[in-house]
Amino acid sequence: MPPVGIVGLGAYVPPKVMTNEDWAELIDTSDDWITTKTGMKERRIAADDVCTSDLAVNACRQALEEAGIGPEDVDLLILATSSPDVPLSSTAGITQHKLGCTNAAAFDVNAVCAGWVHALDIGGRFAGTPGYDNVLVVGAEVYSRILNWEDRTTCVLFGDGAGAAVLQQVDEGRGLLGSWMMSDGAGAGVIEIPAGGVRKPIPSSGFEDGDQYFHMDGRAVWDFATEAFPQAVKAVLERIDYSLEDVSMIIPHQANINIIKTGMEKLGLPMEKTFTNLHKYGNTAGASVPIAMREAIEEGLITEGDLVITVAFGGGLAWGANAFIL
């Protein structure tokens, strides 16, 4: 396999800001409770006429501009989302059309909050091979549209956004070094939307109002994520024969500041070795890792030659990590 790396990175969040105080006016919660439990202060909410594909297009345009290529140069578009525009056709195909990638194949990946790290691994295996000079990997979500805004255990946690990366063949010594992915379908019910598929159509005899929204077992997610995060980091480093001491920065899924702190503690690494922006955007699910990585680069926390680990965990249950040298 040729060396493949990220040559363009883009991120986009909607302009509308929703604060903890705004939520406190709608449901029984408070800024202190949300901040203490999650570390979140604000999140971005897409306008009613904006879809997941629209956020994806904005992030893609930035990534393409940074890479110095146009939409017509893209050979493959892989979009990670668990909040698609429609159940079918694919949101990747809709994004491809809106963006003008007239020469590209496109497909979705649904690994929920671990979607982008999975998509990056898949894209890295295509990029640089015959017919795939430029691969566009996107994570985009509009979770505000799939949440029950009366469920205070979940509605305050999520925000909307998108991140995208252009993958190309790069010089030796740079790029993706390897990935490690894992799933446990026995935990599929821990994070799910119970209705809307063939198991429980809307409407159907088994459908109850509320089943069409996001559901999560918070305690089970905590137990899973605090183990999955350090496991994935250690596993990908072992696969590429590097150690924790070699890592410059870990970019984790922005689910909860306490999950990240616990994961870093289990790794024996200080919080200075990671980057968080969930206080500004909440949990943007499959988009959180590329959004955070873009900001970490903009702030000068990641520079050329650094070994970076991206790690995520979410519904499925699915988790994994990528390792690359910028």
In this structure, the answer to whether residues 166 and 124 fall within a common structural domain is: yes
**Structural domain ending residue among the three candidates 141, 173, 205:** 173
pLDDT of residue 143: 98
- Taken as a whole, the chain contains a residue count of 326
Q: Provide, rounded to the nearest whole percent, the portion of the chain with pLDDT above 90.
A: 98
Strands (DSSP E) contained in 157-253 are: 160-169, 175-183, 191-192, 215-216, 249-252
For the chain, the domain total comes to 2
pLDDT of 224 > 90? The answer is yes
Domain closes at, from 156, 173, 190: 173
In this structure, are 143 and 202 located in the same domain? Answer: no
Is residue 190 located within the same domain as residue 162? no
pLDDT bracket for residue 2 (50, 70, 90): confident
Task: Give the domain extent around 319.
Answer: 176-325
Please state, in angstroms and rounded to a whole number, the distance separating the CA atoms of residues 78 and 119.
6
| Rounded CA separation 229/143 (Å) | 22
From the list 85, 121, 81, the residue with the least C-alpha distance to 1 is 121
Q: Are residues 160 and 185 in the same domain?
A: no
Give the whole-angstrom CA distance, residue 283 versus residue 40: 9
* Omega before 230 within 30 of 0, i.e. cis: no
Co-location of 269 and 282 in the same domain: yes
Would you say 124 and 181 are in contact if contact means Cβ atoms under 8 Å apart?
A: no
pLDDT in tens, 127-137: 999 999 999 99
Tell me: the pLDDT tens digits for 147-157? 999 999 999 99
Report the predicted TM-score, pTM, of the whole model to 2 decimal places. Answer: 0.97
Where a domain ends, among 137, 157, 173? 173
Give the span between the Cα atoms of 22 and 255, in whole angstroms: 20
In a shared domain, residues 310 and 240: yes
Confidence grade of residue 16 (pLDDT, cut at 50, 70, 90): very high
The residues that are catalytic are: 113, 253, 283
Domain co-membership, 243 together with 131: no
Q: Are 139 and 34 in contact (CB under 8 A)?
A: no
- Please determine, for residue 214, whether its predicted confidence score (pLDDT) is greater than 90: yes
Q: Across the chain, what does the average pLDDT equal?
A: 97
Mean pLDDT of 188-206: 95
